[in-house]
Structure formats: structure tokens, C-alpha cells
Chain A
């Protein structure tokens, strides 16, 4: 139901979004590697951030499991912890998924994106109920000590095939477009 080139395109978009939005400083080291899909049982003890991108033909959930440890809080949270750190990381996740959305919108003009929210880890037990047509996980390491897992769960209502135009990757951000 999802073509090979669509899968490849999704993989490339995710890699670019990691490097442009999850990495905060230009000199930081970043490794992104496909990883095995963890069992739902393994995921259920850790809360995670979810965002949804929806079009008429598909729905894509992006789930981010992050280690709530000192290096991660120092990297993203500017020394904050608890609720303040969670709020900051929600916006980081929002920008990350927003970057994916900005590339996909070149192929699917009807896209909409949710606000980011935390889900209880036990919700991961029900991912299979969504009957995903494609599921992939990526292990992300920044400067060796900031670690997270980003998973993509794609549910398609129709055959999905697309190629992301190269120009979409270079879309300008932060500039005011006056109407």
C-alpha cells in the first residue's frame, strides 16, 4: 500500500528533520540509525511525545521517546526540569514534526498537524490497533549523551506514493511573508 520510494522519501525527510530541528548547534555530532521496533511492552513504561500529521489519504504519528536524564535536560531544557523541561521539549518536538510537515506539504497540500502532547507509556500497547501500513524506529544520539528514539507510524487509507521535490527541503523558515 505504501511504495518503496515513499518509504525512502519518508526516511530522508526524517533524517533532515532530525538534523535541522533536534540538533540545536551547528557543531554538534548527530547519529541517526534505524533500530529495531521495540515491543509495545518495552515502550509502556516510558511516557512519550506524539504529533499527528493528517491528510485525506493517510495519517502519520510521530512518537518520540526521550531519556529524561541530566544530559538531555541540559541540552534542551536550559537547566530546567519537570514541567518546565517538558514544555520546552514539546516545542522542540513541534518544530521537528513541523519540519516533516513542511516537506510533505509539497506533495500533499491538504496536510494538517496536531499540537504536540505527552501520552502515558501504556498507550504504546495500542499502536497495533491503528493497523499501521508502515512502522519504523530510529535511534538518535546527539553528542553521544543525548539519546532518544523517534518512531513513525503511518496509517494509509489509500495507496501512497510520492517523491519529495528537492526544493521542499530548502524551504525558508523564520521570515515574514506579508499578504
Chain B
């Protein structure tokens, strides 16, 4: 059962991040945007960590987090943003929405693997 959800509109990023995590023994599900992410979270109750892009079509990542905490009333799942965005205002919005951490792309798997393992328990 998947315990990590990777949400990114780029197939290349989904493949890179999910592929790396699977290679390291983690069970991963993927979603193509925030809307799909919400749907996957509902249908995979074992998900403990969401790794999510900010800028995506249909529903952006921060709106998705606000809906997870608000509409779904899910305060337990950890969310880490993986994005090219690094503006303080964007991070503040993330913090206010209940985001646990922030990674500025590019993704460097080895640098975050141990933290992801802890957050996915």
C-alpha cells in the first residue's frame, strides 16, 4: 500500500521522484495535479507523506494543501513542497496552510531520502 504521494504535472518529475523513492524501497502513488492529488489521497488512506509541486494546472499545490487541511479535515498527512518557487510570501502561504517543508528544485534524492522516510511513517 502506497504511503507517499508524488503530485506534479510534469511526467518527467513524477518519473524521477517516484522512481528514486521506489528504488529505495518506498511505496509511491502519483498524481498529475492538485485535483488528482486530492482524489488519490481519498482513495489511498495509507498515504503519510505528500511531495507536491506548487504551479500546476487545474489546481495548484498550495490550494490542494488548504483543501486537505480544510475540506478533508486531514491534519495528519505530512506535505513537502517540491518547486522552483522560493519566494518568502509563497513559503509563508505554505506554512499557514500546514505545509511541513519546502524543497527548491532540482530534486536531489540522496539529500532528502532519510527525511522522507521519517515523514512517511
A173 to B104, Cβ gap below 8 A? yes
Interface residues as binary, A96-137 with B (CB distance below 8 Å gives 1, 0 otherwise)? 011101100100011111110000000000000000000000
Q: Is B76 an interface residue (CB 8 A)?
A: no
Q: Is B80 an interface residue (CB 8 A)?
A: yes
A81–B91 Cα gap in the complex (Å)?
36
Q: Is B39 an interface residue (CB 8 A)?
A: no
Note all chain A residues with C-beta closer than 8 A to B104. 98, 102, 171-175
Contact A91 to B86, CB < 8 A, known contacts A173-B106, A178-B101, A179-B99: no
A98–B94 Cα gap in the complex (Å)?
18
Q: Is A7 an interface residue (CB 8 A)?
A: no
A109–B115 Cα gap in the complex (Å)?
28
Note all chain B residues with C-beta closer than 8 A to A139. none
Q: How large is the interface on B (under 10, 10 to 19, 20 to 34, 35 or more residues)?
A: 20 to 34
B10 to A179, Cβ gap below 8 A? no
A143–B88 Cα gap in the complex (Å)?
37
Interface residues as binary, B91-105 with A (CB distance below 8 Å gives 1, 0 otherwise)? 100110001111111
From DSSP, what is the main secondary structure of chain A's interface residues?
mixed
Q: Which residue of B lies closest to A77 (CB)?
A: B12
B10 to A90, Cβ gap below 8 A? yes
A113 to B85, Cβ gap below 8 A? yes
B111 to A175, Cβ gap below 8 A? yes
Contact A95 to B102, CB < 8 A, known contacts A110-B89, A113-B85, A115-B57: no
Interface residues of B (CB under 8 A from A): 9-13, 55-57, 80, 84-91, 94-95, 99-108, 111-112, 115
